[in-house]
Amino acid sequence: MALVLGGIGGYLVVQHVLEINFVVMPGIMALVVTLSVLATVAFGLISTWTALSVRPARLLRAA
């Protein structure tokens, strides 16, 4: 959904504001989506690494 909306927004800006040709680059689009997913998963795992490595009872008692 974000890829479609971003593409439409990019098209409108490039065509109507910058007045240059819009070119769809599916390889770059796929790379951006892949890197975004990997970054989201990596930062999520890094931020919860402490909670994942401690026994649940010890973590809950400390809270």
**What is the tens place of the pLDDT at every residue in 33-43?**
999 999 999 99
Residue 9 lies in a domain: no
Domain membership flag for residue 18: no
Q: Let me know if residue 11 belongs to a domain.
A: no
On whether residue 14 sits in a domain, the answer given is: no
pLDDT of residue 55: 76
- Reported as a single tens digit per residue, the pLDDT across 43-63 is 999 988 877 787 777 667 776
Residue 1 lies in a domain: no
- pLDDT at site 59: 64
Question: Which residues constitute the domain of residue 34?
Answer: 23-63
Mark 16-55 as b/e (b = at least 16 C-beta within 10 Å): eeeeeeeeeeeeeeeeeeeeeeeeeeeeeeeeeeeeeeee
For all residues of the chain together, what is the average pLDDT?
A: 88
Q: Is residue 35 part of a domain?
A: yes
Q: What is the C-alpha to C-alpha distance for residues 53 and 29, in angstroms, rounded to an integer?
A: 35
| Domain assignment of residue 16, yes or no | no
Number of domains in the chain: 1
